[in-house]
Amino acid sequence: MSIDTPAERSHSERREITQRGLWFEEFETDVVYKHSPGRTLTEADNVLFTTLTMNTQSLHLDAAWSADQQFGERLMNSMLTLSTVVGQSVAQLSQGTIVANLGFSEISFPNPMYHGDTLYGETIVLETRESKSRPTQGIVTLEHIGRNQHGDIVVRAVRSTLMQKAPK
């Protein structure tokens, strides 16, 4: 009698687990979802994002000019900071389960990000409600918070998303 080892089982005999975000029913309010890994943002990231988005602000591109300004150096583009902290949440919360991003109601940048800072993201679910017009979907309101390596909040955003309910 032979016993198959896991390596000897055929692909069709194995249980599959697909990475996905949360279905509407799985979101819990007042829970902090910590996103991993953090992301160290570099000068190259800043210049690429800034030029791709046609943002010619000297504060992001001109080291000599920025040296004479309030912060004494170039700052990371705040839209890159926002995009990154939202992106950090995707694998854990919305990968393959989001229908649409409905909008942002609040965005703030209480502290600057500099080249070489590491951004750590977390999300708090503020509210969930079933869609009145779409019975297979619900609306989830999220608060995204980004902190630098010192724990300082560098971005905070409140976002509404339309999420799929679990398939029946």
Tokens of 155: 């971005």
**Per-residue pLDDT tens listing for the chain (168 residues):** 656 666 666 667 788 888 899 999 999 998 999 999 999 999 999 999 999 999 999 999 999 999 999 999 999 999 999 999 999 999 999 999 999 999 999 999 999 999 999 999 999 999 999 999 999 999 999 999 999 999 999 999 999 999 999 998
**Stated pTM of the model:** 0.88
Q: 21-41+86-164: what fold? A: Thiol Ester Dehydrase; Chain A (3.10.129)
Tokens of 49: 């994002």
Euclidean distance between CA atoms 54 and 75, whole angstroms: 16
- Helix H segments across 57-98? 58-61, 63-67, 78-89
